[in-house]
Chains A and B, each alone.
Chain A
Amino acid sequence: MDRFRMIFQYFQSNSESVMNGICGLLALASVKMYTSFDFSCPCLPQYNMAYGLGIMFVPPVIFFLCGLILNRQSLVMLEEWRRPQGRRKKDPAVIRYMCSSIMQRAMVAPVVWIIVTLLDGKCLICAFSGSMDPEKFVGFANVSTVQVQQLLAKVPCKDDELMRNNTSRKAVSRYLRCWSQALGWSILLILIVAAFLARWLRPCFNQATLLQARHWSNYIDIEQKIFEETCCEHSRLFAHKCILHFFESMRQEIKLHSFSLPREGEGAEGEEDFLWGITDQDQVNKLLKTWYYEKPPMDVSQVHQR
């Protein structure tokens, strides 16, 4: 039992750090995915906005769902939420606490993606280059409407033959990138200020309730782990007894059928224990065949009653 206690203390102290680790890994994964993703704006009027906004918002949803899936505590919370009341009351404050801590951790990777996207600027340039006011830019001012849409849509593609040396293209691109980076930094600032305030002001409100909720959510988590460990231990013991019972019944069957004299003077006791009276190739074959064709019932009560 000592060993179990050590293992469970380890789990208890590290459940939070394991989840924080997963959170951090997902954030790193999101940055890595953005840098390895080959962003290629279609530079066509109807497609730009869909592509740009799609790249900005679809991966965060994916990361959010991944954050929920990879977090073990979300399963624990769901089970606690859906379990029948039985003899144990359900505390909504605990479930709320677990839900909010899961959500906070799952939001980190999507926010990182959005901020990296905005600070880089490619997505916004691709999405909104077609919505620019052509009057503001010299190169696009005196062009017909249809053509100006086409030209503006090609702004994100630097290597396009029409856009290669177009200074107005650079102007539009810089303008949009400036807005994108400003938006990115503002969002980052707001989020950090909000996190700071939430952490500093929390002890002013309902600290006792918070401590209770945290304690009981840890408890539910550990109880679940211990239950699984105990089930494993139980199934191991069950299997052990079942197999011992099987070998014993084979030994008795062989004694019945072989009419051999009971051995007096069990000399080499140390080795004979493991032989179960099965000392012949045919007997071993019979044992293995019986094991396959007729597995014993999962009932070790006779073993205990003997």
Chain B
Amino acid sequence: MDKFRMIFQFFQTNQESFMNGICGIMALASTQMYSAFDFNCPCLPHYNLAYGLGILLVPPFILFLLGFVLNNNISMLAEEWRRPQGQRGKDPTVLRYMFCSMAQRAMIAPVVWVSVTLLDGKCITCAFCTSVPVETLGNASHPHLSQGEIQRVLARIPCKEIYNGQQLIANEVAIRYLRCISQALGWCFVLLMTTLAFLVRSLRPCFSQAAFLKSRYWSHYIDIERKLFDETCAEHAKSFAKVCIQQFFEGMSTDLVAARCHLPRKAPADAGEAAEKLLGITDQGTMNMVLKSWHRCKPPLHLHPPALPTGNGWAGEGQPPTHLSAPRRERAAYYSWV
């Protein structure tokens, strides 16, 4: 148990820093994704807004969901939420604490994406170029252009190569204006998020510190209990398998002895441990039979008491019939850690 204790202490003290590490990696991944993404404004009146706002808002949503998916504790939260009450009451504050701490971590990458997008300016320039105030920035008094025509010209602002409205409004002026607005929005957004984070973090000790300590303790407890239960089940499975296989070999050995009508060969007194471990299976043919029978007819999942050598064959004889194929799958579902 000492080894487990060390491992769990490591996980406990480092669980938080591990999750913070994943947060940081996702934030970096989101900046990297943005710089690798080839932004291509369509430069058409109705498509610009959809494209620009889509690039601004859809990836953050994906990153938010990804943040939940990559968090190991989501299954723990779901399990605790859905379990039947039984003999142990359910505490909604613990569930709320777990959900809040996961949501806070999952919010970081989307916020980074939105900030980087706004500070860069391409999305807002693309989305709102048709709303540029031509009266103040350019020459609105262009007589021979209809409203639709003006919209089409303005929509080409982000695409410098095909822009043909230099007399209407200079391309650089419009882009500078839109970018200025975008960067102002970006900094305000970052300021707002930072202020919110600061308030959440600093107001908590002022209001509900005792409740917070309680929720934190019990959410750690649920996590540790789940891990310890898995460990105990794994130990049990190991012992179960060991005894099962041992009984299988003993059964085979007794079986073979009975089939050949040989007297049970006693190992010579000075043969040592190696001879005992051979379990009476000492030639190629016998071993092949053992292997074949292990493959074709695995023993049932039922350990009998090891007391009497029955000599009447299979460990499975006389036991309630068990389905041999279904247990394989069920066992994997219960005992596997993956």
Which residues of A are in contact with B by a Cβ distance under 8 Å? 37-38, 40-44, 47, 50-51, 54-55, 58-59, 61-62, 65-66, 68-69, 74-75, 78-79, 81-83, 157, 159-161, 229, 231-233, 235-236, 238-240, 242-243, 247, 263-265, 267-268, 271-276, 278-281, 284-285, 288, 291-298
CB-based contact B205/A79 at 8 Å:
yes
- Listed by A's residue number, 13 A-B pairs whose Cβ atoms lie within 8 Å are A40-B179, A43-B173, A44-B177, A47-B177, A47-B180, A55-B187, A68-B202, A81-B205, A243-B229, A264-B307, A281-B322, A284-B334, A294-B87
CB-based contact A69/B194 at 8 Å:
yes
**Given A65-B194, A78-B202, A295-B87, does the pair A274, B235 have CB atoms closer than 8 Å?**
yes
Please give the distance in Å from A274's CB to the nearest CB on chain B: 4
Q: Is B232 an interface residue (CB 8 A)?
A: yes
Q: Is B21 an interface residue (CB 8 A)?
A: no
Contact of B221 among A62, A65, A239, A275 (CB under 8 A): A239
Chain A residue nearest to B244 in the complex (CB): A279
Most buried by A among B84, B170, B187: B187
Q: Give the docked Cα–Cα distance between A82 and B205 (Å).
A: 7
Chain B residue nearest to A278 in the complex (CB): B236
**Given A38-B120, A239-B228, A243-B228, does the pair A78, B206 have CB atoms closer than 8 Å?**
yes
Q: Which residues of B contact A42 (CB under 8 A)?
A: 176-177, 179-180
**Given A235-B224, A239-B221, does the pair A62, B190 have CB atoms closer than 8 Å?**
yes
Contact of A233 among B9, B86, B191 (CB under 8 A): B9
How many residues of chain B have a CB within 8 Å of chain A?
Answer: 65
The majority secondary structure among interface residues of chain B is: helix
Q: Give the docked Cα–Cα distance between A275 and B242 (Å).
A: 11
Q: Give the docked Cα–Cα distance between A64 and B172 (Å).
A: 34
Interface residues in B183-198 by Cβ distance below 8 A to A read 183-184, 187-188, 190-191, 194-195, 197-198
CB contacts between A and B, total, < 8 Å? 168
Q: Which residues of B contact A231 (CB under 8 A)?
A: 217, 220
Q: Is B160 an interface residue (CB 8 A)?
A: no
Q: Which residues of A contact B176 (CB under 8 A)?
A: 40-44, 157
**Given A78-B205, A243-B232, does the pair A279, B83 have CB atoms closer than 8 Å?**
no
Chain A residue nearest to B209 in the complex (CB): A79
Q: Which residues of B contact A79 (CB under 8 A)?
A: 205, 209
Q: Which residues of A contact B83 (CB under 8 A)?
A: 292-293, 295
Q: Which residues of A contact B119 (CB under 8 A)?
A: 37-38
Contact of A40 among B1, B180, B238 (CB under 8 A): B180
Q: Is B40 an interface residue (CB 8 A)?
A: no
Q: Give the docked Cα–Cα distance between A75 and B217 (Å).
A: 18
Q: Which residues of A contact B1 (CB under 8 A)?
A: 240
Q: Is B18 an interface residue (CB 8 A)?
A: no
Q: Which residues of A contact B221 (CB under 8 A)?
A: 235, 238-239, 298
CB-based contact B327/A263 at 8 Å:
no
Q: Is B8 an interface residue (CB 8 A)?
A: yes
Q: Which residues of A contact B232 (CB under 8 A)?
A: 243, 247
Chain B, residues 81-109, CB within 8 Å of chain A (1/0): the string is 00110111000000000000000000000
Q: Which residues of B contact A82 (CB under 8 A)?
A: 205-206, 209
Q: Which residues of B contact A41 (CB under 8 A)?
A: 176, 180
**Given A58-B187, A267-B307, A293-B84, does the pair A232, B13 have CB atoms closer than 8 Å?**
yes
CB-based contact B330/A69 at 8 Å:
no
CB-based contact B220/A229 at 8 Å:
no
CB-based contact B236/A275 at 8 Å:
yes
CB-based contact B224/A239 at 8 Å:
yes
Q: Is B300 an interface residue (CB 8 A)?
A: yes
**Given A243-B232, A288-B334, does the pair A38, B177 have CB atoms closer than 8 Å?**
no
Q: Give the docked Cα–Cα distance between A160 and B240 (Å).
A: 81
Q: Give the docked Cα–Cα distance between A98 and B37 (Å).
A: 45
Q: Give the docked Cα–Cα distance between A83 and B208 (Å).
A: 11
CB-based contact A236/B301 at 8 Å:
no
Interface residues in B229-287 by Cβ distance below 8 A to A read 229, 232-233, 235-236, 238-240, 242-243
